[in-house]
Chain A
Amino acid sequence: MIVIAGQPNAGKTSLFNALTGSNRNVGNYPGVTVERREGKYRFEGKRYDVVDLPGTYSLSSFSPEERVAQKELLDHTADVVVVVVDSTALTRSLVLLAQVIHLGANTVLALNMSDEAHAAGQFLDLDLMEELLGCPVVETEAHKRVGAQKLKSVIARAAEQPGEPRPPVLGERLSKALMSIESMLANTSVKHEQRSWVACKLLLSDREFTPLVESQGEGGFEAVAQAAVLRKQIEEQTGEDISVFVAERYHGFAHGLVTETIQQRPRDDARVLSDAVDRVLVHRVLGLPFFLAVMYAIFWVTFTVGEYPMGWIENGFAFLADLVSANWPDSTAPELRSLVLDGVIAGVGGVVVFLPNIVLLFFGLALLEDTGYMARAAFLMDRLMHRFGLHGKSFLPMLTGFGCTVPGIMATRTLENERDRLVTMLVLPLMSCGARLPIWMLLVPAFFAPSMRAPMLGAIYLFGVILALSLALLLRKTVLSGEEAPFVMELPPYRVPTLRAMLIKMMERSWLYVRKAGTVILGISILMWFVTSYPKADARDIDQQIAADQVTHQEGRDSIAATLNLKESFAGRLGVAIEPVFKPLGFDWKLVTGMIGSFAAKEVFVAQMGIVHSLGESGGRSESLREDLARNYSSLAGASLILFLLIATPCMATVAVTRRESGKWKWAALQFFGLTVLAYIISLVVYQGGLLLGFG
């Protein structure tokens, strides 16, 4: 197995793609690979499995992604470790290389971003570097797949005949200390080639290694004790903290390596252009307005341009439904027909409709990431986010949450601090996601005058954001109080994104959404179809109602039948049963039933409204449903409803992914119930307050 390791943004994923030919997400934003990814390629008839690790600045176990990477490297399952370094930040990057070698891995060095380094006028003596390191060195330009072939053959050779990387030269004092601890590790089960590394960790009083070694009996205890003594000695002699001392030694090694092998130093003005752009875009005064303008532009494109393909998709599904109902007579297998039409086509169609919005939003985000602007945005936003107990990096997941909460929650992995991550995750459902857009599209025009619609839509989004921030602050002060993570972030130079990389990223994330439509939503649609279709109403009751209303035409009869059937169904019964609870909010059983459906997926609410209002599931966006709603509920009830749907009950997929990412049901439950209770209170206050003030 081949493992690709490197610092964030060094080009690991690009290199992974270059090797495997697969299309992974790359981004000019530190921390885009959040999961360990695997792939494979063939070279000279042999198969190689490749793992793309999340970026790590060092092997000191800091953020969860760094922990994933460190574990992989320490387990020594890799045949070859390819360390990818950013050639334009050589010294810093080579520190990781030194650590990987120190760890005893069979290492290959890939000097990536060689195009940028050469353009800046930096040239290295590669042969000398190979000799000094004792491991192969290859220059690559990963995003253009330059150097991939060479790298493959080097990897093949290294896999067959492991090289003997020279242990990094760490200075006399440290080496002596390490050797003395190592000698005590001889009586433990720590592997020979790892001893020096473990000794170093003991010296640093590492929280994972110390207990591990101590559990190895006498020899382990001695080693730990010896490490403590030496640490004290070194700290006294050098007047520096041990962590600083060790870091300096690694840094010194990397620095020495660069000094010896550099043939031509880079010019100072290498980043001139990028810096000039920053002077404008991250300007102290102009920076924020520009940022807001960029956000506005992205949302504008997402929603206005998205309208057109949405229309096509809607028509497509309508066409499909017509086709099925035309060719499938009512009388043959009516149950199955209903399942296909009302369950599958309506359910999945309702989700796929948003694909254009999602795709466009993701494209916008990809553009921000790949150019490098996203890191600047985090820089600009950190002060504000920090005020609310969040982190500048919380901003990216929250922004993604506007598209879909699920990838947003997954993106919280880029946050280093557990608490920051949890807070961001828990409040994320308040960012009005793409699936809620059709609800707003239905409800806002139904309850508000044309001139009020755009401001109302804006207000909904804004209210969600404000609530999310306030809640974050509240959580930070109560359940999740504690230290904050540092905000030490790299700001990569602006890069011209490759269209290919952006498309890949957009497709990958959109695919996640479609997959949700195809799996979770399909399953839930069928389930919801069942609970909303069964048991059926008594035929006699239906006839009675039709007679009472003196309806003669077929359409009217059908819709009365549908409404009664829904009322009689499990969902309807539940809706009726809990109606009293929601009465003070201005909701009746029809809305409550719709909301039960919206737990499955937010957008299901729209389809449910169509059914309960006897318009059939295809009536989702139709004018008649809006009119029906406007007739039946006051604007005040509408506002209360909108608020409730914005805040309450994140969808099932969100609950599931929160559980997965936080590792505990506790947090998913807190999110689910906390938000629902909050929604209830806010809607109650708004509705009852509104009534008191004489609205509605």
Chain B
Amino acid sequence: MAKKNRDQEIKLSASLEDYLETILQLTRAKPVARIKDIARARDVKAGSVSAAMKRLESLGLIRYERNEYIELTVEGARRAQKVLSRHLVLTSFFEEILDMPADEAEEEACAMEHHLSDAAMDKFVRFFEFLRTCPGAPSNFLELFHGCRRLDGEAECGFHCSDPACIDDEWQKNRTTINALEHGQEGTIMHVGTAPAIRQRLLDMGILPGVKVNMERRAPGGDPVWIRIEGYQLSLRREEAEGVAVEV
């Protein structure tokens, strides 16, 4: 079900996206956000905040606790994270590559973050990453970049960069999720990237970076999966297993 939503994601207005982003930032500092915190952070009236909150709640992106505390749902956190990471990427692009002053960079990023399509944004991020991580690239790097196609997630760039950051691409190749492990395959956990509530449970169960996991089996239909870590056995749903990155 979550899958389907993801594919046909409803388009949010720029201001709603901004609200999500604000809530995410606020809830990082404190466990919950309040209407008045949001109003202060965005410099708007509390009334318009609550209207926006109602809308976000009806979209299932936030939860309103006791009509005052506001909390992101998993989907909401995902959307907010997306907006925020766009924001960060764009800001640093304007700042680092285009050499703009920080406040202007912020402003430009704010204006731009809502309007790029996912596909355009992906391209943008890739380009930016390329510029950032390949300082040793040849002077015709722009041409090379244009000629660089991605086939099944692998870069085919026609040259090999000697910079260690680029060699990371090799590492990326070995990186997958618990869910993608094959029967009997072993991997080392690199990152636990699920929603906070689930993450805590996974951590409690010993699913931590650096720990080895083995795929034992799957239930009929492939879900849930059954894994072995440090001598004991656990089952996880596919979605949860997809959130845990491993290196094989």
Contact = CB atoms under 8 A, between A and B. Distances in A.
Interface of A: 57-58, 60, 62, 88-89, 91-92, 95, 205-207, 210-211, 224, 228, 232, 240-241, 243-244, 247-248, 251, 266, 270-271, 275, 278-279, 282, 284-285, 287-288, 379-380, 382-383, 386, 392, 416, 481-483, 486-491
Contact of A490 (B32, B194, B233): B233
B196 A243 contact: yes
A248 B207 CA distance: 10
B196 A248 contact: no
Nearest to B221: A383
Contact of B232 (A89, A240, A416, A483): A89
A300 B232 CA distance: 34
B131 interface: no
* Size class of the B contact interface (CB-based, 8 Å): 35 or more
Contacts of B73: 482-483
Contacts of A244: 192, 199, 203, 208-209
Interface in B209-238: 209-210, 216-221, 223-224, 226, 230-237
Main SS class of interface, A: helix
A367 B203 CA distance: 31
B240 interface: yes
23 contacts: A88-B231, A88-B232, A89-B231, A91-B230, A206-B31, A207-B31, A228-B29, A228-B30, A247-B203, A247-B204, A248-B209, A275-B216, A288-B220, A379-B219, A379-B224, A380-B219, A380-B220, A386-B237, A483-B74, A486-B201, A487-B224, A487-B235, A491-B233
A382 B201 contact: no
B12 interface: no
B30 A210 contact: yes
A509 B220 CA distance: 32
Contacts of A207: 31-32
A392 B204 contact: no
Contacts of A224: 30
Nearest to B238: A383
A26 to B, nearest CB: 19
Contact of A205 (B30, B216, B217): B30
Main SS class of interface, B: mixed
Contacts of A491: 226, 233-235
A221 B243 CA distance: 35
A62 B230 contact: no
Nearest 9 interchain pairs by C-beta? A247-B203, A57-B204, A58-B204, A92-B206, A486-B198, A89-B232, A491-B233, A487-B237, A207-B31
Given A89-B231, A488-B236, A491-B233, A282 B226 contact: yes
B224 A382 contact: yes
Contacts of A91: 206, 230
Given A207-B31, A266-B231, A284 B220 contact: yes
Contacts of B237: 382, 386, 486-487
A382 B219 contact: yes
A58 B205 CA distance: 9
Given A244-B199, A483-B74, A379 B204 contact: no
Contacts of A206: 31
Given A486-B197, A488-B235, A491-B226, 13 more contacts: A205-B30, A210-B31, A240-B209, A243-B199, A244-B199, A247-B208, A266-B231, A284-B219, A392-B224, A486-B237, A486-B240, A488-B198, A490-B234
A490 B224 contact: no
Contacts of B203: 58, 243-244, 247
A482 B57 CA distance: 11
A383 B29 CA distance: 37
Contact of B226 (A60, A89, A232, A379): A379
Contacts, number: 138
A282 B196 CA distance: 31
Contacts of B29: 205, 228, 232
B199 A383 contact: no
Nearest to A476: B1
A295 to B, nearest CB: 16
Nearest to A378: B235
A609 B199 CA distance: 56
B195 to A, nearest CB: 8
A58 B206 CA distance: 10
Contacts of A382: 219, 223-224, 235, 237
Contacts of B200: 58, 60, 62, 243, 247
Contacts of A379: 219, 224, 226, 235
Pick the most buried of A91, A92, A270: most chain B CB atoms within 10 A of its CB.
Answer: A92
Contacts of B232: 88-89, 92, 490
A383 B196 contact: no
Contacts of B224: 379, 382-383, 392, 487
B202 interface: yes
Pick the most buried of B220, B226, B230: most chain A CB atoms within 10 A of its CB.
Answer: B220
Contact of A241 (B198, B199, B218): B199
A240 B210 CA distance: 13
Contact of A95 (B196, B197, B198, B204): B204
A690 B137 CA distance: 80
Contact of B219 (A275, A279, A287, A482): A287
Contacts of A416: 201
A481 B2 CA distance: 13
Pick the most buried of B196, B216, B235: most chain A CB atoms within 10 A of its CB.
Answer: B235
Nearest to B206: A92
B202 A282 contact: no
Contacts of B218: 284
B220 A489 contact: no
B235 to A, nearest CB: 5
Contacts of A266: 231
A487 B217 CA distance: 16
Nearest to A287: B220
Nearest to A381: B219
A211 B30 CA distance: 10
Contacts of B240: 486-488
A416 B204 CA distance: 14
A421 to B, nearest CB: 15
B236 A487 contact: yes
Contact of B31 (A205, A275, A386): A205
A181 to B, nearest CB: 15
A288 B203 CA distance: 30
A288 B218 CA distance: 12
Contacts of A247: 200, 203-204, 208
A379 B210 CA distance: 26
A611 B217 CA distance: 58
Nearest to A241: B199
Contacts of A92: 205-206, 230, 232
B201 A57 contact: yes
Contacts of A89: 230-232
Contacts of B219: 282, 284, 287, 379-380, 382-383
